[in-house]
Amino acid sequence: LGLKGSYAGAMGMGQFMPSSYRLWAKDGDGDGRRDLLTHKPDVFASVANYFVVHGWQPGAPVAARAMLETGKDEFAPENLEPVFPMTTLAARGYRPLSGEPQPGDPTRDGATVVGFDGEAGREHWIGYRNYYVITRYNRSPMYALAVHQLAQAIRAGVAEGP
C-alpha cells in the first residue's frame, strides 16, 4: 500500500483519523470520491463539514483577547467547553479588550478562558463556541488560537487586496 499517515494514524491534508474520514469526509469536487490525500476541494469540504457537525456557528466570534482585572486570580477551567456565561467570567475579572468580539447574549452565550505565555507576558483569551469547535478538530488550545489568528490575517489580507 502507498497510503501514508501520521504516527497516530491521521491521513491526508486535513489529517483526519480513520473514523473521522469515514464519518465526515465529503466529495467537494463532485467526482464521486472523497479524496483527502490529493483533492483540495474534498479537503476543504470535509474540514468545513467536520466543523458544522461539531456546532460551528457561521458569523459568530471565535475568540477575544481579554484582560484580567488587577487583584483577580487567573481562572483555569478543567476543560475548554464554553459553559460560562460572560457575566460569570466578568465576575472573575475577565473582560474582552476594547474592540474585541463579544457574544450576542452575555447572560446566556457560553464562553471559556485560556491563558498563554506570550512575548510580552501572560495573555488571556476568551474562547467562544467556535473556539471550542476548533478544539474538537485538534485538542490543543494553542492550535485553536493559531487557526483563529491565521484566519483573521487571511481575512484582513483579502480585505486589503494585493
pLDDT tens per residue across span 89-148: 999 999 999 888 887 777 678 999 999 998 999 999 999 999 999 999 999 999 999 999
For residue 148, give the amino acid letter: H
State residue 1's pLDDT score.
53
Residue-range domain boundaries for the chain: 1-53, 63-160
Give dist(CA 53, CA 68) in Å, integer.
33
Q: How far is CA 46 from CA 29, 51, 54, 127, in A?
A: 11, 9, 12, 23
With beta carbons less than 8 A apart as the criterion, state whether 72 and 52 touch: no
State residue 10's pLDDT score.
84
With beta carbons less than 8 A apart as the criterion, state whether 127 and 113 touch: yes
pLDDT, tens only, 15-47: 998 899 999 999 999 999 999 989 999 999 999
Give dist(CA 57, CA 1) in Å, integer.
39
Task: Give residue for cell 459568530.
Answer: 60
Supply the pTM of this predicted model: 0.87
Tell me the fold of 63-160: Lysozyme (1.10.530)
Which residues face 65 on adjacent strands?
125
Q: At what angle do helices 141-160 and 129-137 cross, to 10 degrees?
A: 110
